[in-house]
Chain A
């Protein structure tokens, strides 16, 4: 009885992580996301990526009527 339980424990501790390892799928969605980001950087598809848009200091021109 005792041997049987220990045996089961050993089998479980070996077999369970093995199943999980085999089941680790390729994260296709995450890979696409990473690819898009890299391609956008390499091809510089987004101009406003790194350089913060240097907005010209807006000085409201006061229309001096009269």
Chain B
């Protein structure tokens, strides 16, 4: 009787464990409405940011964000707008990393998702764009 109970208990535990493993092995969820909205917002902004990357006014940071690298590369009248774009972009990026972590049931993954993105942004950046390495700006 107790042996049977033990077997049932043990198999239930095994089943639960294997289910968790399957969940962990699957692809990351990145298609929630919130994530889509962030992507659209970033896509629209990128049209404005693109020329600034090429001009070296902005660059990609080591932590998956963007930063003003050389404000002198844009006319004085546009510097305020550029700073605003950078600020909004970084806010979207933080939200994106957070939402992916939350959508996958692991809010604690936010930091790791951010560092994964950091490497991928730089990897996919166009030649001539700037990125940070060990605190210094490097031209790709």
A residues adjacent to B (C-beta < 8 A): 2, 5-6, 8-9, 12-13, 16-17, 20-21, 24-28, 30-45
B20 and A20 within 8 A (CB) = yes
Pick the contact of A32: B10, B20, B116 (CB < 8 A).
Answer: B116
Of chain B, the residue at the smallest CB distance from A8 is: B6
A41 and B9 alpha carbons, distance in the complex (Å): 47
A34-B43 CB under 8 A given contacts A16-B13, A17-B17:
no
Number of A-B pairs whose CB atoms are under 8 Å?
84
Q: When the two chains form their complex, are residues B2 and A43 in contact, meaning their CB atoms are under 8 A apart?
A: no
Q: Show 18 A/B contacts (Cβ-Cβ < 8 Å), sorted by A.
A: A5-B2, A5-B3, A9-B9, A17-B17, A20-B20, A21-B20, A30-B26, A30-B27, A30-B28, A31-B116, A34-B28, A35-B113, A35-B117, A36-B120, A37-B30, A39-B120, A39-B124, A43-B46
Give the dominant DSSP class at A's interface: helix
- The CA-CA distance from A17 to B14 in the complex, in Å, is 8
Specify which chain A residues have a CB less than 8 angstroms from the CB of B10 in the assembled complex.
Answer: 9, 12
B27 closest partner in A (C-beta): A30
Cα–Cα distance between A46 and B72 once the two chains are bound (Å):
32
A39 to B26 CA separation, bound complex (whole angstroms): 20
Taking the nearest CB of chain A, how far is it from the CB of B75, in angstroms?
Answer: 25
- Within the complex, the shortest CB–CB distance from B98 to chain A, in Å, comes to 14
Q: Choose from B2, B17, B26, B113 the contact partner of A31 (Cβ within 8 Å).
A: B113
CB distance B24 to A24 under 8 Å?
yes
